[in-house]
Amino acid sequence: MVVEARENGAGVAAAAAAKLTVKRGEPELVAPAEATPTGEKYYLSNLDQNIAVIVQTVYCYKPVASGGDAADAVTVLRDALAKVLVHYHPLAGRLTISAEMKLAVELTGEGAVFVAADAGCDLADVGDLTKPDPTALGQLVYSVPGAKNILEMPPMTAQVTRFKCGGFSLGLAMNHCMFDGLGAMEFVNSWAETARGAAELTVPPFLDRTVLRARDPPVISFEHHEFEEIPDVSDTAALYGEQELLYRSFCFDPDRLERVRALALAGAGAGDDLLGGRCTTFEALSGLVWRARTRALGLAPEQRTKLLFAVDGRRRFEPPLPKGYFGNGIVLTNAVATAGELLSSPPSRAAGLVQAAVRMVTDEYMRSAVDYFEATRARPSLASTLLITTWSRLAFHDADFGWGQPAMSGPVTLPEKEVILFLAHGEERKSINVLLGLPASAMDAFQELMDEI
Ligand SMILES: COc1cc(/C=C/C(=O)SCCNC(=O)CCNC(=O)[C@H](O)C(C)(C)COP(=O)(O)OP(=O)(O)OC[C@H]2O[C@@H](n3cnc4c(N)ncnc43)[C@H](O)[C@@H]2OP(=O)(O)O)ccc1O
């Protein structure tokens, strides 16, 4: 299946946006239900500093024949939020800059921002959450008006929107510096089980992020190309400037994923492809899309192109991070190749580079990345880069607040034009939806390459 949306509200996106009108009530502050530590600063690690962007997600719940209706959902979710914030109390604080000039949380205890809203349509009119549609879906998430930077935004806002059919949606805007995908999922699922009446959390958060403090003095033992600014010798800036950005989502069902893996393995071992005789779905699919995007954008053979992706470091740290680690336990890893190298070798080369990038992530690599930030305060560069973010194993679909699992859940938008998102899809969530944006002509070329699989 291919779905398409155009920026600036045209096409499918506009159809959904036109139907969806949302009236918000007054935002309120939901503070922790019990006293929590206040008056101090909460330490955020160097892994939290790198990715201080707001991630907006939406979860949609159909009306249920028995049990509470959407009006109850506002009360249930608001009360459960107050209770879960006792455990996750830094989310009730506000971002600030510490004496070491890093992001930290001022433990003010003032609360998360919560808004109840009403939609003038049925949930079915929201459309398809497998593609980003900021115009329509953005109405289901609350952004603080007039906030000029992340210091003026609360770490999280929640909007519960009641639909005419009796269903509701939960829209979240959460700062990535507070948690990564796994941490966010554990928070949402803790909130959901609290709403269902659980007295204790299955996975209580582990709050102390100082376990990821930098070494003194910092030791940089890797090249860390993630920070390298690669010149755009192919002038893709002109292409992006001239053409409309199209978003499409490409579904890979299990059969198609096996074909992608077989392609990656065909010819493996013949040359210097690094692939150790086997590869995972992620490695094969990432290699495929990196190559296809390189070809579709018409990159010059000498253009160096960088692939970045997050690796969950929780079990790779020595010792592993404690269960329930609240903050970012992910590290960006990278592979760099010229367009000519990627396109003139068999697909096994790209998959092999991805595999090598996964294997590079050891305890020493991650400590080196932490120390790199300590020494340089540099942020990863997206110049001439593809950033793959994989949510395919994040169990957001489990978030049951008492109304069953969400009928749909997903991101509101892709954060940057360089980002490709892998999302779980379909029966037993065994398919992967690849979501991306490209200039119109490049998207057509990318589409052709995907049609060949
Ligand atoms: C702030 O509010 C938010 C934030 C967010 C979202 C934020 C983010 O995006 S943070 C980044 C999220 N992504 C990750 O953390 C990536 C996690 N994945 C990894 O780290 C992977 O190891 C990898 C580096 C991507 C590589 O994956 P892969 O090559 O597949 O290797 P393995 O994972 O080792 O798997 C190999 C093999 O094992 C089997 N397997 C492993 N795990 C599972 C599983 N969970 N289920 C089933 N099977 C598994 C499997 O057989 C694999 O082999 P295949 O051949 O089948 O692939 C969002 C929302 C907010 O509000």
For the residues 57-65, what does the mean pLDDT come to? 91
How many degrees, rounded to 5, is the angle at CA 114 between CA 109 and CA 117? 170
For residue 331, give the 3-state DSSP assignment: strand
Using one digit for the tens of pLDDT, what is the confidence trace for 248-301? Answer: 999 999 999 999 999 999 877 666 566 777 899 999 999 999 999 999 999 999
In 3D, which of 305, 299, 323 has the Cα closest to residue 186?
323
Domain C-terminal end among 143, 175, 208: 208
Which residue puts its alpha carbon closest to atom 48 of ligand 1? 393
Judgement on whether residues 72 and 125 belong to the same structural domain of the protein: yes
Beta carbon of 311 within 6 Å of any ligand 1 atom: yes
The confidence score (pLDDT) of residue 11 equals 36
Domain C-terminal end among 208, 236, 258: 208
Judgement on whether residues 204 and 332 belong to the same structural domain of the protein: no
Q: Is residue 412 part of a domain?
A: no
Beta carbon of 264 within 6 Å of any ligand 1 atom: no
Asked if the ipTM is above 0.90, the reply is yes
pLDDT of 66 over the 90 cut: no
176 an active-site residue? Answer: yes
Using one digit for the tens of pLDDT, what is the confidence trace for 151-206? Answer: 999 999 999 999 999 999 999 999 999 999 999 999 999 999 999 999 999 999 99
The confidence score (pLDDT) of residue 128 equals 72
Number of domains in the chain: 2
Judgement on whether residues 117 and 266 belong to the same structural domain of the protein: no
Which residue puts its alpha carbon closest to atom 15 of ligand 1? 312
Kindly give the distance from the C-alpha atom of residue 377 to the centroid of ligand 1, in angstroms, as a whole number: 27
Q: From the candidates 87, 89, 176, 225, give the one annotated as an active-site residue.
A: 176
Kindly give the distance from the C-alpha atom of residue 292 to the centroid of ligand 1, in angstroms, as a whole number: 22
Beta carbon of 446 within 6 Å of any ligand 1 atom: no
Q: Is residue 213 part of a domain?
A: no
Beta carbon of 312 within 6 Å of any ligand 1 atom: yes
Q: Is residue 416 part of a domain?
A: no
Q: What pLDDT band is residue 3 in, cutting at 50, 70 and 90?
A: very low
pLDDT of 10 over the 50 cut: no
Which residue puts its alpha carbon closest to atom 24 of ligand 1? 311
Beta carbon of 186 within 6 Å of any ligand 1 atom: no
The confidence score (pLDDT) of residue 84 equals 98
Q: Is residue 15 part of a domain?
A: no
Q: Is residue 319 part of a domain?
A: yes
Judgement on whether residues 182 and 246 belong to the same structural domain of the protein: no
Percent of the chain with pLDDT over 70: 92
Which residue puts its alpha carbon closest to atom 51 of ligand 1? 280
- For strand 94-97 and strand 103-106, is the pairing parallel, antiparallel, or unpaired? antiparallel
Kindly give the distance from the C-alpha atom of residue 264 to the centroid of ligand 1, in angstroms, as a whole number: 19
Report the distance separating Cα 196 and Cα 192, nearest Å. Answer: 6
Judgement on whether residues 230 and 162 belong to the same structural domain of the protein: no
Report the distance separating Cα 355 and Cα 360, nearest Å. Answer: 9
Q: Is residue 402 part of a domain?
A: no
- For strand 22-24 and strand 112-119, is the pairing parallel, antiparallel, or unpaired? antiparallel
For the residues 369-395, what does the mean pLDDT come to? 95
Report the distance separating Cα 33 and Cα 196, nearest Å. Answer: 16
Judgement on whether residues 380 and 305 belong to the same structural domain of the protein: yes
Average confidence score pLDDT of the chain: 92
Q: With DSSP H G I counted as helix, E B as strand and the rest as coil, what are the percentages for the chain, rounded to 5? A: 35, 25, 40
Q: What is the CATH number of the domain that holds 231?
A: 3.30.559.10
Judgement on whether residues 325 and 443 belong to the same structural domain of the protein: yes
Q: Which of 127-131, 164-168, 329-333, 396-400 bottoms out in mean pLDDT, i.e. has the lowest?
A: 127-131
Judgement on whether residues 56 and 118 belong to the same structural domain of the protein: yes
Judgement on whether residues 178 and 232 belong to the same structural domain of the protein: no
| Residue whose pair of structure tokens reads 């939806």 in the numeric block | 433
pLDDT of 396 over the 90 cut: no
For residue 290, give the 3-state DSSP assignment: helix
Kindly give the distance from the C-alpha atom of residue 89 to the centroid of ligand 1, in angstroms, as a whole number: 27
In 3D, which of 252, 258, 250 has the Cα closest to residue 431?
252
Percent of the chain with pLDDT over 90: 83
Report the distance separating Cα 21 and Cα 306, nearest Å. Answer: 41
Beta carbon of 346 within 6 Å of any ligand 1 atom: no
Q: Is residue 1 part of a domain?
A: no
Using one digit for the tens of pLDDT, what is the confidence trace for 24-59? Answer: 999 999 999 999 999 999 999 999 998 899 999 999
How many degrees, rounded to 5, is the angle at CA 249 between CA 245 and CA 253? 160
Q: What pLDDT band is residue 69 in, cutting at 50, 70 and 90?
A: low
Judgement on whether residues 232 and 202 belong to the same structural domain of the protein: no
Judgement on whether residues 114 and 261 belong to the same structural domain of the protein: no
Q: Is residue 292 part of a domain?
A: yes
- Are 298 and 362 in contact, with CB atoms under 8 Å apart? no
Domain C-terminal end among 182, 208, 234: 208
Which residue puts its alpha carbon closest to atom 27 of ligand 1? 282
Kindly give the distance from the C-alpha atom of residue 393 to the centroid of ligand 1, in angstroms, as a whole number: 5
Judgement on whether residues 237 and 384 belong to the same structural domain of the protein: yes
Full domain range(s) for residue 340 = 225-392+429-452
